[in-house]
Amino acid sequence: MSEIDEGPRATGNQAPDVFKVGAWVPMRQFREDEAVDFVIVGTGAGGGTLACRLAEKGFSVVAMDAGAYYRPLEDFASDEEEQSKLYWTDQRLVDGDNPLKMGANNSGKAVGGSTVHYAMVSLRFRPEWFKARSTLGYGVDWPLDWREMWGYYAQAERALTISGPVTYPWGPKRPRYPYRPHELNAVGKVLARGCEAMGYKWSPTPLATVSAPHGESPPCVYRGFCRIGCSTNAKQSALTVWLPRALKAGAEIRDLAMVGRIETDARGLATGVHYHRNGQWRFQRAKNVVVAGYAIETPRLLLASANERFPDGLANSSGAVGRYLMTQSNQGVWGQMDDEVRWNKGPPSLAMTEHWNYEDRKDFFGGYCWMSQGPLPQEWASVQTGSRGLWGEELRREMELYNHQVGVKMVGEMLPVETNRVTLADEVDQYGLRVARVTYSWTDNDKALIAHALDQMEQNLLAGGARKTFRQEDDTNHLNGTARMGDDPRTSVVNADCRSWDIPNLWVCDGSVFPTVGGVNPSLTIQAIALRTADRIETLAKRGEL
Amino acid sequence: MFGLKRRPPPPTLSSFAVDMAHAMLQARATKALAKAPAAAVETATHVRRTGSNRQDAWLLHGAAALLGGSVFADSGVEHYRGDFQNRAMFLPLIVSACSIAASLHGATTRKHGSHRMRDAAYAAAGLTGIVGTGFHLYNVTKEPGGLSWLNLFYSAPIGAPAALSLSGMMGFMAERVREAPAGTEPQLLGLRTSRVLAALTGLGLFGTVGEAGLLHFRGAFHNPAMLLPVTMPPVAAALMLEAAVSPPRKRHRWSRIWLAVTAILGVGGVGFHAYGVSRAMGGWKNWRQNVVDGPPLPAPPSFAGLALGGLAALRLIERHRR
């Protein structure tokens, strides 16, 4: 589907049925001049989850997304180029010592957000990370308690029907994953063998793709196209889990609706959002506004909504909006096997080790995990040309070995630094909105962690039987921070409930609220926080404190 | 006022199945009596009441054939899925086919007594099952993680080859029963065949329950019907173990009913698995992939095979009360 040709799909009191070709489900719609309880900007891990839970609790909800409303069965091709439609590739400026590469790894532009093309890795934080400063001596403490979060993690895991190991080898006890783990592919076994040789524990990765039928999702058939959009709906994402529930509970979802500005009134409260849809700017009134646009678009919107009363942007009295941006290091080590491996088969990260997340005998702060990999050919070619600098005949020869290739990549913790940040550039995008400038530089601690991880991963591959290894030293992925939560209005943007300190009816609910980023993929934590936020909003509403 | 006369229990699906099996056997018995010389069979009245060795052998051949058929189809599909990477993977197909052929021959021939070729086929099945279990265990333990849930789920199924052994053992029992002089119970290593058979059925059922339990756990019991094979057959299995050591005069009506339930479950399981195939991506339209990767269609009937063996055991026990 070309979003430009067809226009918005969620109109006329119906939204696409993501489980059937050409089908629709009924959708409640709200008038723009009717102040809905919540307008939510973004429908990914944070916004999608929150929209569902708030609607289920009886609030009126309109959730907007700048991206298109796809039906995976008919709209997703087994083609990397075509599927880049799922990434946020609008113009952004990047700078700093280590400019971030924006796109596939760290953004999404579709209803469902980046969960539509995420790798489904669903890990919990190490409990100590919620008090990183007090217990481990770096970063800052979260205003959340891990024991409370453990309950929300379990709730998210149940909703997403996570397929995970029968017992998870790290961290405190957790309930059994709803579904059993997936079978390892050959590259997963290389990681596992390597870990056993190194004396490290390993585990089948807890994944948000089902290993047995669930509802309208068939079990995963191991095509391996997860990261360009699952076309079978085995993947459990905001698109297939939270939003269908949200619609059933009476939420409205507006696709292809780009929010450009949050309006505030004389009292300093948010009154609604200006959004661009069907070629014109419109206004939706709301009693509460939730920003869930992820770590670039969230601060961009808050900053772009600056007005006379809030000249530095909304919710920014601390000056922390846009600051403390944290990506995660995503370096990898690659190698070859004599046997055919076909690493692209199955979800890309079937086996993993969290050894260095739970082992503190190291000379840097933070932790990291690493996972087996199975990049599709184009992505693999870009590693060979980009990180390794191969071209021509040499590149062709390497690409012929695609089916013998193995590799592991890390998800590493980077420290929050004030100067790693999102600001507004003077250039404007297709909507006439100022584009985000993303400034990023690695700290010495980040570099030490990466160097350590590269050594460990290389050892792992060699011990697993690979040869001809090489290191990819330049990649990063998930983005967090930029609207961090905390206990102190002077240093944080929102409180533990994701409610902004400055504007009580303005909320932020996505990865932006992370004060530290941890060494695991953030999607499950974002969803757990959204679940908690929904419960808190319900409690506050009952008390009349909204 | 109405007295305390015992009324017959209301007919149920399971008791209906038991009665059907009985009726079929009685019909065969009457036919056989009409043709066979009087000396070769038990007295007509006795046979009518509790059946004959020959009928029990027929049941056991049926059990061997069902188990063999289950193994033939299941190992065929699963080893095809494994690309027959090891030539030994053809073995269960050949051996189970022999077991099926021996059983069909045994069930249809009029000749009294055992047969060397059938015995050989059954012995081969028994042995191949044991060797297969070794192979499967090796396949599980060679993977990283060794004897772990993951490998038990996805490597060669540890319990599957035992079904081939059970097929062989059922057939072996059939041969012993049919070679015994009319009206006598054969002995196995000094033990009464009926009791050994009851114990074997009980253990076999428990093993099959274990296998179904493991694989249904792998499927996270996502459909409540997946609980049936781990909750109902264990009752039959326990009753069979009890029958193996029960006092001679005891009647085994409940055991028969539970065996019938188990048999029905074994046949009905194919339907449930067919539904499971339909829930995979593409459903039955994509049968080439989903029959191979979905729930195994031929697996559940092994419950029915074991139930037939158990029925033969109970008949032997009840006929040879001492």
- Distance CA(B155)–CA(B144), nearest Å, equals 11
Element (DSSP H or E) covering residue A254? strand A252-254
- B12: pLDDT strictly greater than 60: no
d(CA B169, CA B185): 17
| CA dist., res. B265 & res. B299, Å (int) | 11
Instruction: Indicate the SS3 state at residue A494.
Output: strand
Distance from CA of A417 to the nearest CA of B (A): 40
What is the distance between the alpha carbons of residues A231 and A74, in angstroms, rounded to a whole number?
A: 8
Contact B154 A234 (CB under 8 A): no
* Domain count across chain B: 1
Hey, is the C-beta of A184 within 8 angstroms of any chain B C-beta?
yes
d(CA A509, CA A493): 11
Please report which confidence band the pLDDT of residue B22 belongs to, taking 50, 70 and 90 as the band edges.
Answer: low
Min Cα separation B34/chain A (Å): 55
Q: How far apart are CA A299 and CA A304, in angstroms?
A: 8
Query: Which of these, A174, A534, A98, lies nearest to A354 by C-alpha position?
Result: A174
Residue B8, domain member (yes or no)? no
> What is the DSSP track for A406-456?
EEEEEEEE----TTSEEEEEEEE-TTSPEEEEEE----HHHHHHHHHHHHH
Position A530, amino acid? A
Establish if B44 belongs to a structural domain: no
Q: Are A257 and A280 in contact (CB under 8 A)?
A: no
Most distant pair of Cα atoms in chain B: their distance:
74
pLDDT of residue B50: 61
**Rounded-to-integer distance, Cα A184 and Cα A192, Å:** 9
Q: pLDDT band for B251, please (50, 70, 90 cuts).
A: confident
CB-based contact A221 B289, cutoff 8 Å: yes
- Top CATH class of A3-541 equals alpha beta
Asked if the Cβ–Cβ distance from B144 to A196 is below 8 Å, we say yes
At residue B25, the pLDDT reads: 54
Query: How confident is the model over A425-460, as pLDDT tens digits?
Result: 999 999 999 999 999 999 999 999 999 999 999 999
CA dihedral in degrees (A127, A129, A130, A135; nearest 10)? 90
Q: Do A180 and B154 touch (CB under 8 A)?
A: no
Alpha-carbon gap, residue A153 to A122, rounded angstroms: 10
Give me A274's structure tokens.
């200006």
A-chain residues within 8 Å CB-CB of B220?
178-180, 211-212
Question: What is the pLDDT, as a whole number, of residue B53?
Answer: 86
Distance CA B20, CA B13 (A): 10
Interface touch B293/A221, C-beta < 8 Å: yes
Q: How far is B228 from chain A (nearest CA, A)?
A: 18
pLDDT digits (tens, 9 = 90+) for A50-92: 999 999 999 999 999 999 999 999 999 999 999 999 999 999 9
Please say whether the beta carbons of A90 and A109 come within 8 A: yes
Cβ contact, residue pair B222, A189, below 8 Å: no
Residues on chain A touching B153 (C-beta within 8 angstroms): 180-181, 183
User: If we measure between CA atoms, which residue out of A499, A64, A519 comes closest to residue A274?
Assistant: A64
> Residues B57, B186: contact at Cβ < 8 Å?
no
What is the per-residue pLDDT for A406?
A: 98
Interchain pair B150, A234: CB under 8 A? no
| Whether residue B20 has pLDDT greater than 90 | no
Pairing of the two strands A280-291 and A36-41: parallel
Distance from C-alpha of A146 to C-alpha of A148, rounded to nearest angstrom: 5
CA distance B33 to B39: 11
**What pLDDT score was predicted for residue A5?**
61
- Least Cα distance to B63 among B187, B216, B240 occurs for B240
CB contact under 8 A, A183 and B154: yes
The CA-to-CA distance between both ends of chain B, in Å, stands at 41
Max CA separation in chain A (angstroms): 70
Q: Where are the alpha helices (DSSP H) in A294-387?
A: 294-304, 355-358, 377-382
Q: CA dihedral defined by A277, A54, A272, A293, rounded to 10 degrees? A: -60
A215 at the B interface (CB within 8 A)?
no
Of B317, B313, B309, which is closest to residue B61 (Cα–Cα)? B309
Report how far residue A62's alpha carbon sits from residue A229's, in angstroms, rounded to the nearest whole number: 25
Structure-token pair, residue A30: 């709200």
> What is the identity of the amino acid at A351?
A
Cα–Cα dist A443/A366, whole Å? 12
A23 touches chain B (CB under 8 A): no
Cβ–Cβ contact A196 with B under 8 A? yes
CA-to-CA distance for A176 and A170, rounded, in angstroms? 13
In eight-state DSSP terms, residue A141 is: B
3-state DSSP helix/strand/coil % of chain B, to nearest 5: 75, 0, 25
So what's the pLDDT on residue A282? 98
Q: Tell whether B40 is covered by a domain.
A: no
| Least confident span in A37-51, A245-259, B23-37, B232-246 | B23-37
Determine the average pLDDT of the residues in B76-93.
95
Residues in chain A: 546
Count of C-beta atoms within a 10 Å radius of residue A478: 25
User: Would you call A180 and B279 a contact, using CB atoms and an 8 Å cutoff?
Assistant: no
Q: How far apart are CA A462 and CA A334, in angstroms?
A: 10
- Please tell me whether residue A351 adopts helix, strand or coil conformation: strand
| Whole-angstrom distance, CA of residue B149 vs CA of residue B146 | 9
Closest partner CB to A204 (pick from B150, B276, B281): B150
Contact A180 B143 (CB under 8 A): no
Residue B17 is assigned to a structural domain of this protein: no
Rounded to the nearest angstrom, the minimum Cα separation between B67 and chain A is 27
Chain B interface includes A213 (CB < 8 A) = yes
Both tokens of residue A357? 């997340």
Tell me, yes or no, whether B212 lies in a domain. Answer: yes
pLDDT < 70 stretches in chain A = 1-5
Q: Spell out the domain ranges in chain A.
A: 3-541
Closest chain A residue to the Cα of B153, Cα to Cα: A183
Q: What is the pLDDT of residue A437?
A: 98
Mean pLDDT of B106-135: 95
Cα gap A276→B69, rounded to integer Å: 65
Res A85: pLDDT: 94
Give residue B125's domain range.
51-319
**Does the CB of A340 have a partner CB in chain B at under 8 Å?**
no
pLDDT at residue B8 above 70?
no
Say if residues B61 and B106 touch (Cβ distance below 8 Å): yes
> Which one of B143, B145, B281 has the shortest CB-CB distance to A232?
B281
Strand ranges across the sheet with A421-428: A93-95, A434-439, A421-428
Q: Which residues on neighbouring strands pair with residue A270, listed in sequence order?
A: A264
Angle CA(A377)–CA(A380)–CA(A382) in degrees, nearest 5?
115
**Cβ contact B289:B282 at 8 Å:** yes
Tokens 């102190």 correspond to A488
B142 in contact with chain A, both atoms CB, cutoff 8 A: no
Which segment of A66-75, A295-304, B184-193, B218-227 scores lowest on mean pLDDT? Answer: B184-193
* Residue B152, pLDDT above cutoff 70: yes
The amino acid sitting at A147 is R
Any domain includes B171 = yes
> Does the distance separating the beta carbons of B143 and A189 come in below 8 Å?
yes
**Lookup: tokens for A59:** 């609030």
Query: Closest-CA residue in chain B for A180?
Result: B218
Angle between helices B160-179 and B301-319 (to 10 degrees): 30
pLDDT of residue B9: 41
Containing A285, the helix (H) or strand (E) segment is strand A280-291
Cβ–Cβ of B220/A180 closer than 8 Å? yes
Does residue B34 surpass a pLDDT of 50? Answer: no
Distance CA B135, CA B153 (A): 16
Measured distance CA(A26)–CA(A15) in Å, rounded? 6
Q: What's the CA gap between A496 and A535, in Å, rounded? A: 12
